[in-house]
Structure formats: C-alpha cells, structure tokens
C-alpha cells in the first residue's frame, strides 16, 4: 500500500507527463512538489522498488502500467469528491480543491462506487476536468487555450488549468463561467491580452496569464 506522499507523486508524475511528451525530469518533480532534489530521488527509488515507475538516475521518470492505474484512481477520486463538495454540500468551485486533496486518499473502492452512483456518474469535475472512467480511461477532450483563439472567434469556456482559489475567484469576479460562450473581440498585439464579449452587452478584459489557463472548444 502507498503512503499519501507516494500517491501524490504518482499523481504529479501523471499530470506532468500528460502536459509534456515523454519522461518527467527529477527537477520538474522537485519544483512541483516543492521538495529538495535529494528527497525526490529517495521517493523515486521507493516507487521504483514497488514497480510503480521506471526510473534510472540522471534520466527521466515514467509510470509503469500499475503506476498509471493507481494515478488514475487517485485522480478519479479527487474529481468525484470535488463534484460532491460543490453539488451536494454547496461549496464554491474555488473552495474544494484542497479538501479533495485529502479526500482523494481514502481508498475504499466501495465508497468510490457508491459516491459515483450517488452523483449520477458525472463526467466532469467542477473545473471542467474529465473524470477518469472506473476502468481507468482518461477521456481525451481536445480543448485548446483561450490564448490560442483568434480574433472574431466564438468559443465555449470548458475548463481551467489552474485550480488555485485566487484564480477561480478572479474568474468569478470577471463573470467568466464554464459553459459560457465568449467571442474574442480583440487581441492586444503587445501583451497578448484579449477582450472577450460575453452575451450581447458585456465585454471583459482577460490578461494573457488568465487566457492561457482557460480551456475552450
Ligand atoms: Zn482539484
């Protein structure tokens, strides 16, 4: 059985690997987990002993099939709990990530099955992220970043890449909600910030930093 920290590593390796192609570097892991490279190396050795990752010193890290299966289970639990917290307990989408970080480590399979049924088998979490299937498939959404949209394009806001409370509250204040259709009315040539129109009358300024953390289709 894995410790919380080991589970968090598996999840982090999975997330880093899906953002970039190929292997995950020890440095990237140290940065993501805010730990010293030496402690990262220790942890990687442990995970390699358990055959959850492929790891050779000075080379990248890759999840084994079993490691990926576990990572997807953790992500599935995390996202289901977020749905529960928002839909059933009335928390805001900006409040649930940290709680789900703890709840995701409860391993009871029966609990997850009942939670999923109770929620009506949701496909997305409150941040628009797809929930891995019970058999461990991660749905491929093919979203792109708002910062890659072109002037004149109408797109639907689908998901966020940044889950911090500050970021989500900023979206709340700007009336940028998932599911809304926005039209890119102007892209600033200098700093790549965009002006988007929501509905007929509202124009919202979106900085480049925000636009590249918003996924659209
Ligand atoms: Zn989350």
pLDDT digits 0-9 by tens, 52-93: 999 988 788 999 999 999 999 999 999 999 999 999 999 999
**70: CA distance to ligand 1 center in Å?**
17
The pLDDT, as a whole number, for residue 201 is: 80
**84: CA distance to ligand 1 center in Å?**
12
**Res. 1: pLDDT tops 70:** no
Residue 47: which pLDDT band, with cuts at 50, 70 and 90?
A: very high
**94: CA distance to ligand 1 center in Å?**
9
The pLDDT, as a whole number, for residue 64 is: 96
Average pLDDT over residues 136-145: 93
**85: CA distance to ligand 1 center in Å?**
11
**43: CA distance to ligand 1 center in Å?**
23
What does the DSSP assignment read for the chain?
---HHHHHHHHHHHHHHHHSSSPBPHHHHHHHHT--HHHHHHHHHHHHHTTSEEE-TTS-EEE-HHHHHHHHHHHHHHHHHHHIIIIIT---TTTSHHHHHHHTT---HHHHHHHHHHTT--SB-TTSPBPPPTT--------EEGGG--TT-EEEEEEES---HHHHHHHHHTT--TT-EEEEEEE-TTT--EEEEETTTEEEEE-HHHHTTEEE-
Residue 127: which pLDDT band, with cuts at 50, 70 and 90?
A: very high
**Res. 27: pLDDT tops 90:** no
Residues measured by CB to lie within 5 Å of ligand 1, the ion: 97, 100, 163
**151: CA distance to ligand 1 center in Å?**
31
**Res. 136: pLDDT tops 80:** yes
Domains of the chain: 4-63 (1.10.10.10), 76-140 (1.10.10.10), 144-216 (2.30.30.90)
**185: CA distance to ligand 1 center in Å?**
31
Average pLDDT over residues 134-139: 94
**82: CA distance to ligand 1 center in Å?**
7
Residue 9: which pLDDT band, with cuts at 50, 70 and 90?
A: very high
**105: CA distance to ligand 1 center in Å?**
13
- 89 or 21, which is more confident? 89
pLDDT tens per residue across span 159-210:
999 989 999 999 999 999 999 999 999 999 999 999 999 988 899 999 999 9
């Amino acid at each position: 059985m894995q410790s919380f920290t080991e589970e968090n590593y598996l999840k982090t390796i999975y997330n880093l690997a899906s953002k970039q192609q190929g292997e995950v570097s020890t440095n990237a892991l140290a940065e993501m987990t805010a730990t010293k490279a030496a402690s990262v190396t220790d942890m990687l050795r442990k995970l390699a002993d358990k055959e959850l990752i492929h790891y050779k010193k000075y080379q990248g890290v890759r999840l084994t099939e079993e490691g990926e299966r576990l990572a997807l289970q953790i992500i599935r639990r995390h996202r289901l709990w977020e749905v529960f917290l928002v839909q059933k307990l009335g928390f805001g989408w900006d409040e649930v990530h940290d709680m789900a970080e703890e709840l995701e480590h409860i391993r009871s399979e029966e609990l997850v099955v009942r939670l999923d049924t109770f929620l009506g088998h949701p496909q997305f979490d409150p941040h628009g992220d797809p929930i891995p299937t019970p058999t461990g498939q991660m749905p491929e959404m093919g979203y792109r970043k708002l910062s890659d949209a072109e002037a004149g394009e109408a797109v639907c806001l689908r998901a966020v890449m940044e889950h911090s409370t500050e970021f989500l509250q900023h979206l709340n204040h700007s009336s940028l909600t998932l599911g809304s259709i926005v039209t890119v009315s102007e892209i600033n040539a200098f700093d790549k910030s965009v002006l988007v129109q929501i509905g007929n009358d509202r124009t919202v300024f979106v900085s480049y930093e925000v636009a590249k953390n918003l996924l659209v289709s």
